[in-house]
């Protein structure tokens, strides 16, 4: 017999018993290509609150308190709409789930955690005033041209890294190559080709 099983919280949970009366079977085979099978894209992200608060136009930083985090469940077109480090605004429904369901544990506990079933995600743009402050001036441009014209540019960069530490040119050179290096990549499946900086790993 074939029966459909509703998956709570958009997670796959195998059937534990047969709904047919009198059937004691506990071993089942999933029919992924059956007409009753319906799959959607899902993603779970952890959102951390922003510790920068704006009061009367002045940005204030909160100190002495750990930022709170909450898990958000994304479905369908919301999957892969944000990257780690993005400043986003999430709109959704607050719900509770048993602790351990997110990791796929079957053990039932009496502890519940709060999560958000997202319905929309808005990526916050940078403040125009902040973006203007980060722009290069003509003086900065001439200084960059002057540094670019140095005969031993890499040596100058190595000695400019942590100038308070004397020597250790080989270690500084490795750190410099790691900071400016990396493998360029893009978001998987993204048609716009959004670039992602490669992760830098170095062992000193």
| Whether 158 contacts 169, CB under 8 Å | yes
Which pLDDT band holds residue 169 (cuts at 50, 70, 90)?
confident
Query: Both 26 and 118 in a single domain?
Result: yes
- Looking at residue 174, what is its pLDDT? 85
Classify residue 2: in a domain, yes or no: no
pLDDT winner (highest mean) among 20-29, 64-73, 113-122: 113-122
Q: How confident is the model at residue 112 (pLDDT cuts 50, 70, 90)?
A: confident
Predicted local distance difference test score (pLDDT) of residue 107: 55
Choose from 9-23, 52-66, 108-122, 182-196 the range with maximum mean pLDDT.
108-122
**What is the DSSP code (8-state) at residue 167?**
S
Domain end marker among 98, 128, 158: 128
Closest CA to 105 of 200, 11, 199, 3: 11
Whether residues 150 and 49 share a domain: the answer is no
Question: 123 lies in a domain?
Answer: yes
20 and 112 share one domain: yes
What is the pTM for the complete model shown?
0.48
100 and 151 within one domain: no
Q: Determine, yes or no, domain membership for 164.
A: yes
Domain that holds residue 22: 8-128
Higher local confidence (pLDDT), 200 or 34: 34
- Asked whether residue 46 is assigned to any structural domain, the reply reads yes
Give domain status of residue 174, yes or no. yes
Provide the pLDDT for residue 91: 92
Where is the domain boundary, 128, 154, 176?
Answer: 128
Among 128, 154, 173, the domain boundary falls at 128
Name, in order, each residue with C-beta under 8 angstroms of 101's C-beta and a sequence gap of 6 or more: 9, 11
User: Rounded to whole angstroms, what are the CA distances from 57 to 51, 54, 88, 124?
Assistant: 15, 6, 20, 17
**Quick check: 172 and 158 in contact, CB under 8 A?**
yes
On whether both 54 and 122 belong to a single domain, the answer is yes
- Residue where the block lists tokens 């960069």: 157
Of how many residues is the chain composed? 204
The span from the CA of 104 to the CA of 13, in Å, is: 8
Q: Other C-beta atoms within 10 Å of 123: how many?
A: 11
**pLDDT above 80: residue 191:** no
Residues 153 and 100 in one domain: no
Considering the domain architecture, whether residues 72 and 13 belong to the same structural domain is answered as yes
CATH number of the domain where residue 12 is located: 2.40.50
Query: How many structural domains comprise the chain?
Result: 2
Has residue 74 been placed in a domain? Answer: yes
Q: Are residues 24 and 110 in the same domain?
A: yes
**Residue 74 and residue 120 in contact, taking contact as beta carbons nearer than 8 Å:** no
Mean pLDDT of the chain: 76
């Amino acid at each position: 017999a074939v029966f459909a099983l509703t998956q709570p919280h958009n997670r796959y949970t195998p059937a534990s018993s047969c709904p047919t009366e009198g059937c004691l079977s506990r071993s089942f085979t999933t029919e992924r290509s059956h007409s009753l099978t319906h799959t959607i894209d899902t993603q779970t992200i952890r959102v951390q609150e922003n510790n920068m608060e704006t009061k009367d136009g002045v940005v204030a930083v909160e100190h002495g308190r750990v930022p709170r985090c909450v898990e958000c469940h994304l479905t369908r077109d919301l999957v892969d709409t944000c990257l780690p480090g993005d400043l986003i605004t999430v709109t959704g429904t607050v719900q509770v789930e048993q602790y351990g369901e997110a990791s796929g544990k079957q053990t039932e506990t009496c502890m519940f955690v709060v999560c958000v079933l997202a319905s929309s995600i808005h990526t916050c743009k940078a403040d125009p005033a902040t973006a203007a402050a980060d722009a290069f001036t003509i003086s900065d441009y001439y200084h960059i041209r002057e540094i670019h014209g140095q005969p031993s540019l890499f040596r100058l960069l190595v000695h400019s890294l942590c100038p308070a530490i004397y020597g250790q040119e080989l270690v500084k050179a490795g750190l410099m190559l790691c900071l400016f290096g990396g493998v360029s990549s893009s978001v998987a499946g993204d048609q716009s080709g959004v670039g992602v900086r490669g992760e830098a790993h170095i062992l000193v």
